Amino acid sequence: MRISNLTPEDSEGASALWDQAGLTRPWNPPEADLLRALAGETSTVLGLFDGGTLVGTVMVGHDGHRGWVYYLAVAESHRGTGLGRRLMLAAEDWLRERGVVKLQLMVRSANAGVLDFYDRLGYEDADVQVRAKWLR
């Protein structure tokens, strides 16, 4: 298995993984997120490939101060094998290489299994609230 930066040609496979993992929402086209991340100088999407098959992703970027992770997904057939941990370590390394010292991520409060996953990786509740405003 290998981890490498995705390309626009990987958008269909990445979107399918994100749908399967329940990460997408109808109002937010995932392909646009992927293309935006790949076009940025401070972001990328890392893909985990088993042979030629995309089995995991993590979107990573930074704002010059904090790093962020989105779209961590592992194919159902490969879950529970440590690949999510491997992708998170790759995202952390990507940020460290760019001098970023803090990584943040958002998890929906009701997603207990994912919260447990991040707890096991050493991530803690930062005791902050995320506020949002729709700009439609």
State mean pLDDT over 46-63: 96
When divided into structural domains, the chain yields a total of 1
Q: How far apart are CA 108 and CA 76, in angstroms?
A: 20
Q: Is residue 11 a part of any domain in this protein?
A: yes
Report the pLDDT value the prediction gives residue 99, as an integer from 0 to 100. Answer: 94
Within-domain flag for 130: no
Within 10 angstroms of residue 63's Cβ, the number of other Cβ atoms is: 11
Within a domain: 29: yes
Q: What is the CATH number of the domain that holds 83?
A: 3.40.630.30
Report if residue 13 sits inside a domain. yes
6 assigned to some structural domain: yes
The pLDDT mean for the chain works out to: 93
Please state the rounded mean pLDDT for residues 16-43.
Answer: 93
- Please name the residues in contact with 57: beta carbons below 8 A apart, sequence gap of 6 or more: 6, 14, 17, 18, 45, 46, 47, 48, 71, 72, 73, 87
What is 16-42 written as a DSSP string?
HHHHHTT--BTTB-HHHHHHHHHH-SS
> What distances in angstroms separate CA 59 from CA 77, 134, 135, one per listed residue?
20, 22, 23
- Provide the residue range defining the domain that includes 50: 2-120
What is the pTM for the complete model shown?
Answer: 0.90
65 occurs within a structural domain? yes
Is 104 among the domain residues? yes
pLDDT of residue 64: 87
